[in-house]
Chains A and B, each alone.
Chain A
Amino acid sequence: MKVGVLMDKMDQDHILEVQDLTVKFLMDEGTVHAVNGVSFVVPAGKSVGIVGESGCGKTVSSYSITQLLPKSARLTGRILFRERDGQVTNITNLTPDGKEMRRIRGKEIAMIFQEPMSSLSPVHTICNQLSEAMLQFQGMTKRQARTRAVELLQLVGIPYAERRVDEYPFQLSGGMRQRVMIAMALSRNPRVLIADEPTTALDVTLQAQVLRLIQDMQNEFNLSLVLITHDLGVVAHMVDHVCIMYMGQIVESGPVKEIYDDPKHPYTKGLMNSIPKLRGRRGERVVPISGSVPSAYAVQTGCPFCERCPERSKRCTQGIPQRVKIGSEHYVCCHLYQSGKEEQDVINA
């Protein structure tokens, strides 16, 4: 299956390009098509959000970039990464535990995860965990690594960093742990930061603080950010460009304001109508999307959203819609817009 036009070269301004990525998991019960032909780009220094409900493939897509998928995963497509010297590396060609990948992972592309308690080791001090990579890869002495660890903790706004550095994760609150995770991700000056639901486990005031920290760090170090979340509120404020995922496909993507002001795909419209707004008027009902997400084992022959779509027609069950460009950077995968494009092609011919 092809989505969009495959580019041979990578755009000069882009630091990361994911092209036609598919990820399958071969399970005893059948094959799970977790990601089905996903393509998106991350311009250097910009932020891209990937939004979708649980099981839509957003986390699997991000784990593919750092090659952290389990062995049962089968991956096709290309993930292009621009090195510091301008060279382009195709990450999918690298062995996940090989030297090259280990160089890129952490040093070039860093990740922060959702659950800071389970991503930190409970039996090592913050200092040990922060300095592990420095001792391993940067050839620092223990003393240097410790000084750097304290600096990093100060950078992410942890008070009494000199004391905190010798504590264990259980002694820190959830917000502090997430700050430690961010410090760890930044410890080797990465150029791309992938944040997988970084604030889902946090309360709203802490969420605001941690997201602010991520934005500050992005500005300070000119990071490119890939933010994975299910929270349409967080995405609205954190990214330049947003990709809406459903059942392993990006159904719509575009500049964040364009997507929120004028959603085109029926799923995006459905999502926007189904969330209560903080500044909502009373008595105005939200409109849920009917039904629920189909089974992950289901094989798609038509549009993945067609069962729940209020605007479906016969052709929706027959073929997977192609990606159509409807704005300068706005793409949508839906038969509603397909026909228009075909007619356009006919006219042009």
Chain B
Amino acid sequence: MLSMPDDVILQVTDLVKHFPIEAGFFRKKQIGAIRAVDGVSIAVQKGKTLGLVGESGCGKTTTARAILRALEPTSGSVLFRTREGIVDMARLGAADLKKARADMQMIFQDPYSSLNSRLPIMDIIAEPLKSHGYPKAEREERVKELLELVGLRAEYARRYPHSFSGGQRQRIGVARALALNPALIVADEPVSALDVSVQAQVLNLLLDLQEQFGLSYVFIGHDLSVVRYICDQVAVMYLGKIVELADVDALYEDPRHPYTSTLLLAVPDANPHAPWRQDTVKGEVTGDEREIVGCSFAPRCRYAQDICREKTPELQNVNADSTHLSACHFASEITLEGVS
């Protein structure tokens, strides 16, 4: 029997997703693997938001997709609390997976490509209901309810996506994700394609819905200001691994991994008086297929010692109540700058 703590809705353990690199024309042979996700363990509390942050190519989207099993994970388990008990998403058969997905939905980054331009809004939002066998009359009723829930008018159901702005389209994407009353929503950069004035509308909508329905979110983002605004806990990823995981304020104010500190200090805050450090890190992400010996951030890290290049650091507690984890050999020795 699968089990996890009562207040946890999703528990990912040692999730791995490798993409094979093949060579050869007639006989394909695997010559290596891209380690997009390399042993990720996270847990999402009921009614809370876990943020996944990192630069492009760090594996945050792959993690999200592997959680939903939109991608087949290479190994690891994804325990998820559905209405009918705990399941391991990574091992479910097709029929059970479909059932489980009613409780776990996704919001996509690009509100332009994620809505089918040939379908009216009614059909787009009703799609998950249809695939789960709801009768037509019920579907139409629910779509109208959902449109109003996300702040659009019920009459809009007949219109096509082209007549909506980016922010409205993202609301439609949210309505579709809510159609089956999920408990968990995986949101992959849901506001990064939106203009600032509209971004706030969608962020507040997500917060309101969370309050109203007790939703849990996995929120993927690269904008650290947005992540601070919406998340309760944050996991920082670097080259397929989690390097730091903590409650949002602890992570921002007292980062314990050099990469987290680097990221935070590199953000130009929308305040001309706030400090901005542009020289915190040299170089850029070196993405290649070789297995990295030691800490993957070591080549760019100013604190790197010999041990960092020899031994891979484990994600370890840095405080007594084990809410703050860091994968750095010197997590408790170095003092790092955060943002207050």
Binding site for B on A (CB under 8 A): 53-54, 173, 175, 203-209, 211-212, 230-234, 236-238, 256-257, 260, 270-272, 274-280, 282, 285-290, 292-293
Which residues of the other chain, A, contact B222 by a CB distance below 8 angstroms? 203-204
A209 to B195, CA, bound (A): 24
Residues A270 and B280 in contact in the complex (CB < 8 Å), given A204-B266, A278-B228: no
Nearest-neighbour CB distance to chain B for A299, whole angstroms, equals 19
Q: Which residue of A lies closest to B57 (CB)?
A: A203
Contact with A along B265-289 (1 / 0, CB 8 A): 0111111111011111100110000
Q: For residue B270, which residues in chain A have a CB less than 8 angstroms away from its CB? A: 232-233, 236, 260, 272, 275, 277
Binding site for A on B (CB under 8 A): 55-56, 165-168, 195-201, 203-204, 207, 222, 224-226, 228-230, 248-249, 252, 262-264, 266-274, 276-281, 284-285, 339-340
B284 touches A292 (CB 8 A): no
Complex Cα distance, B230 from A260, in Å, reads: 23
Residues of B within 8 A of A208 (CB): 266, 268, 276-280
22 pairs from A and B in contact (CB 8 Å cutoff): A175-B284, A204-B266, A206-B55, A208-B266, A211-B278, A233-B270, A234-B268, A260-B270, A260-B272, A271-B197, A275-B225, A275-B270, A276-B225, A276-B229, A278-B269, A279-B340, A285-B207, A288-B198, A288-B199, A288-B204, A292-B165, A293-B165
CB of B267 within 8 A of CB of A287, answer: no
> Cα distance A275–B269 when bound, in Å?
10
Cα-based distance from A212 to B269 in the complex (angstroms): 15
| A203 partner, pick from B56, B165, B226, B269, beta carbons under 8 A | B56
Which of B55, B197, B268, B276 is the one whose CB lies under 8 Å from A288?
Answer: B197
B164: min CB distance to chain A, Å: 9
Contact A280 B281 (CB under 8 A): no
Q: Which of B195, B226, B266, B268 contacts A54, CB < 8 Å?
A: B195
CB distance from B70 to the nearest CB of A (A): 24
In the docked arrangement, what's the CA distance between A160 and B55, Å?
A: 24
CA distance A127 to B201 in the complex (A): 46
Q: Report how far A276 CA is from B225 CA in the complex, Å.
A: 6
Scoring A256, A260, A270, A292 by chain B CB atoms within 10 A of each residue's CB, the highest score goes to A292
Whether B195 and A293, one on each chain, are in contact in the complex, defined by CB atoms closer than 8 angstroms, is: yes
A237-B272, A277-B225 known; 11 other A-B pairs, CB under 8 Å?
A: A204-B224, A207-B266, A211-B278, A230-B196, A236-B271, A257-B273, A275-B199, A276-B228, A288-B197, A288-B200, A288-B201
Chain B residues closer than 8 Å to A204, beta-carbon distance: 55, 222, 224, 263, 266-267
Contacts of B228 in A (CB 8 A): 276, 278, 280, 282
Give CA–CA (A209, B277) in the complex, Å: 10
